[in-house]
Amino acid sequence: PELTNRKGIVFHRDNARPHTSLVTRQKLLELGWDVLPHPPYSPDLAPSDYFLFRFLQNSLNGKNFNNDDDIKSYLIQFFANKNHKFYERGIMMLPERWQKVIDQNGQHITE
């Protein structure tokens, strides 16, 4: 399938039990939203995995923390210092990522 042919709202969900329940599936059908197929686990389709955590990992390289409070403080500052465009970019990259997964028959994307 081609993502570029879709119009309206496209709902991306993982396969967590609340997202696959009958009530949820019925509501999505009622709303008329397209639901992207999602492999059981795909780091290529989770913006937190392929986008957000990559930036977090890079920011942590070479850092050492003395205690849990230092780590917590660092993480709070890391997330607070990202503006809405940073998060928006990660979400807006999703359709392109989804299409790559489809093009590779669900195989992991190597970059």
Helices (H) and strands (E) in the chain, counts: 7, 2
Boundaries of domain holding 76: 40-110
On whether both 13 and 62 belong to a single domain, the answer is: no
For residue 35, report the phi and psi dihedrals to the nearest 5 degrees: -115, 125
Q: Would the CA dihedral through 42, 27, 90, 72 be positive or negative? A: negative
Asked if the model's pLDDT at residue 49 lies above 70, the reply is no
On whether both 83 and 52 belong to a single domain, the answer is: yes
On whether both 47 and 78 belong to a single domain, the answer is: yes
Q: Give me the percent of the chain exceeding a pLDDT of 90.
A: 25
- pTM here is 0.52
On whether both 106 and 81 belong to a single domain, the answer is: yes
Structural domain count, the chain: 2
Asked if the model's pLDDT at residue 77 lies above 80, the reply is yes
What per-residue confidence (pLDDT) applies to 16?
64
Kindly state the average pLDDT of the residues 86-102: 79
Kindly state the average pLDDT of the residues 25-50: 70
99, with CB counted inside 10 A (0-12, 13-18, 19+), is middle
Asked if the model's pLDDT at residue 2 lies above 90, the reply is no
On whether both 90 and 71 belong to a single domain, the answer is: yes
Higher pLDDT, 74 or 42: 74
What's the CATH number where 56 sits? 3.30.420.10
Encoded tokens for 41: 């686990």
On whether both 6 and 44 belong to a single domain, the answer is: no
On whether both 65 and 80 belong to a single domain, the answer is: yes
On whether both 8 and 47 belong to a single domain, the answer is: no
Asked if the model's pLDDT at residue 3 lies above 60, the reply is no
Lowest mean pLDDT among 37-41, 75-79, 85-89: 37-41
